[in-house]
Amino acid sequence: MWPSRQWAVLVFIITVAAVGGIVAWTLQRDTGAEEIEIIDDPPVGSIAGEVYIGGAVGCPGYYQVQANDDIFSLIQAAGGLSATDSSAIELRVVCGTDDEGSQRVNINRAAAWLLQALPGICEERAQAIVTYRETVGRFNNVYDLLEVDDIGPATLEEIIPLITVAD
């Protein structure tokens, strides 16, 4: 048999090795937060249409792609990364529009703040469009906007070249 001092040293070494192994395993294990790698190839600005940005962003929704946009500027337009979980971002490119030369606001998808960018559409009118869409359903054509409170023919004629109901 070994003397008790040798047993104590052996138990100490095994304990230190076990604790060290547990600490190393804890530091190396996957905590669920994955590093996000965004590859912008081709650049988003070369794609005509809309991009849906959802998940861990401040304002999920559809965003028109402007010339020279990249993924990072689109994420910033969507309110930036959410502080709670930046590992779950959804990006969908909706390619093609009715008129490839222009970008239009889709009144079936646009958030109120984007609708306010249209001429003659104030905050109240933008909210009325969103409320109508949520209660009645999607717009089948741009003339359905005349059914929304406080939108008349003059306002509609002004914004028709700038809007669409495309999916």
Q: Which residues pair with 137 in a beta bridge?
A: none
Q: What is the largest CA-CA distance in the chain?
A: 102
Instruction: Indicate if the pLDDT at residue 157 is higher than 70.
Output: yes
Return the higher-pLDDT residue of 105 and 67: 105
Helix (H) or strand (E) holding 140: none
What pLDDT score does 92 carry?
62
* Full set of structural domains in the chain with CATH: 44-95 (no CATH), 105-164 (1.10.150.320)
Q: What pTM value is reported for the model?
A: 0.42
Return the higher-pLDDT residue of 141 and 10: 141
What pLDDT score does 41 carry?
45
What pLDDT score does 147 carry?
94
Contact 53, 78 (CB under 8 A): yes
Return the higher-pLDDT residue of 142 and 71: 142
73-112, pLDDT tens digit by residue? Answer: 777 777 777 766 555 666 665 555 444 455 789 999 999 9
Number of separate helices (H) and strands (E) present in the chain = 5, 5
> What is the spatial distance between Cα 57 and Cα 53, in angstroms, rounded to a whole number?
8
Half-sphere exposure of 150 (CA within 13 A, CB side): 12
Long-range contacts of 101-104 (CB under 8 A, 24+ apart): 102/161, 103/48, 103/49, 103/64, 103/65, 103/66, 104/64, 104/161, 104/162, 104/163, 104/164, 104/166
> What is the spatial distance between Cα 38 and Cα 41, in angstroms, rounded to a whole number?
9
What pLDDT score does 127 carry?
94
